[in-house]
């Protein structure tokens, strides 16, 4: 049981959130349940270097605002949206560390797809200079990582409850109930069929307000209904 006085520092969950869905919210809540953090900050990417053609930041931000309205432990941090040019996680964690000072625990939360891809990120081996990494499983994603990443990670593995003892440097794993939601599948579903049918096919993956926002702003819809 993590009591409030044990909680220190905060988690960081970056993503395109195009759109935010209940898999993201479950992931953030699972992180709060597993680690002694005070909150999780969701950081929507400005111009992700590995993705193109994403929805304008203002829509992704508005959907996030709707999704966290009733989630007191989840906040939105717009630092990447406000940055011009390519977004690299290493720049974000360096900037955050500079803002909060050397002592506060910061935990970068990664889904399995991001963890297995980590060694393609800019300066990935420097990430733990600024933050801890916390990894969870994702339904349908293989957890194999490249050998050089495993060698780098091995001496850093620790238990999730230990992230409050140091500011950065550890790699922990935590569990979450499998959640099938994926933003790509939501966008594809909305693009291919009438909206009501699309919503049935994504099986409650969107908070109601977010699904209303998508409909009102005709996001992801490529033909008239």
Binding site for ligand ATP (CB under 6 A): 15-18, 23-24, 27, 110-111, 113-114, 138, 179, 181-184
Rounded least distance, CB 4 to ligand ATP, Å: 26
Rounded least distance, CB 69 to ligand ATP, Å: 19
Rounded least distance, CB 52 to ligand ATP, Å: 12
Nearer to ligand ATP, 13 or 167 (CB): 13
d(CA 93, CA 59): 24
Q: Are the CB atoms for 118 and 124 separated by under 8 Å?
A: yes
Nearer to ligand ATP, 40 or 167 (CB): 40
Nearer to ligand ATP, 50 or 159 (CB): 50
Place of tokens 């931000």: 61
Nearer to ligand ATP, 9 or 15 (CB): 15
Rounded least distance, CB 44 to ligand ATP, Å: 8
Tokens representing residue 8 in the block:
């220190």
Tokens representing residue 16 in the block:
């395109």
Rounded least distance, CB 113 to ligand ATP, Å: 5
Nearer to ligand ATP, 173 or 179 (CB): 179
The secondary element (H helix, E strand) that includes residue 78 is: none
Residue nearest to ligand ATP (CB): 111
The set of long-range contacts for 141-150, using a CB threshold of 8 Å and a minimum separation of 24, is: 141/111, 141/112, 141/113, 141/116, 142/112, 142/116, 143/112, 143/115, 143/116, 144/116, 145/115, 145/116, 145/118, 145/119, 146/119, 148/119, 149/118, 149/119, 149/124
Rounded least distance, CB 19 to ligand ATP, Å: 9
φ and ψ at residue 46, rounded to 5 degrees: -75, -75
- Region at 132 (left for phi over 0; alpha for psi -120 to 50; beta for the rest): beta
Strand spans (E) along the chain: 10-15, 40-44, 74-76, 106-110, 132-135, 157-158, 171-173
Place of tokens 């996680």: 89
Nearer to ligand ATP, 23 or 105 (CB): 23
Nearer to ligand ATP, 6 or 180 (CB): 180
Rounded least distance, CB 111 to ligand ATP, Å: 2
């Amino acid at each position: 049981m993590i009591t409030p006085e044990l909680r220190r520092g905060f988690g960081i969950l970056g993503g395109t959130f195009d759109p935010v869905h209940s898999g993201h919210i479950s992931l953030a809540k699972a992180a709060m349940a597993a680690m002694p953090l005070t909150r999780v900050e969701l950081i929507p990417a400005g111009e992700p270097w590995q993705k193109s053609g994403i929805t304008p930041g203002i829509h992704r931000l508005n959907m996030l605002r709707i999704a966290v309205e009733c989630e007191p432990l989840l906040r939105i941090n717009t630092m990447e949206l406000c940055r011009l040019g390519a977004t690299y996680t290493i720049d974000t964690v360096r900037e955050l560390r500079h803002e909060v000072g050397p002592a506060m625990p910061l935990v970068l939360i990664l889904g399995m797809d991001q963890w297995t891809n980590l060694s393609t990120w800019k300066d990935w081996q420097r990430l733990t200079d600024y933050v801890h990494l916390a990894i969870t499983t994702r339904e349908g994603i293989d957890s194999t990582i490249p050998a050089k990443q495993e060698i780098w990670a091995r001496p850093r593995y620790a238990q999730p409850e230990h992230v409050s003892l140091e500011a950065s440097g550890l790699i922990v794993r935590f569990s979450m109930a499998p959640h099938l939601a994926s933003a790509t599948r939501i966008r594809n579903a909305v693009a291919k069929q009438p909206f009501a049918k699309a919503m049935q096919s994504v099986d409650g993956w969107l908070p109601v307000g977010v699904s209303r926002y998508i409909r009102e702003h005709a996001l992801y819809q490529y033909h008239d209904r």
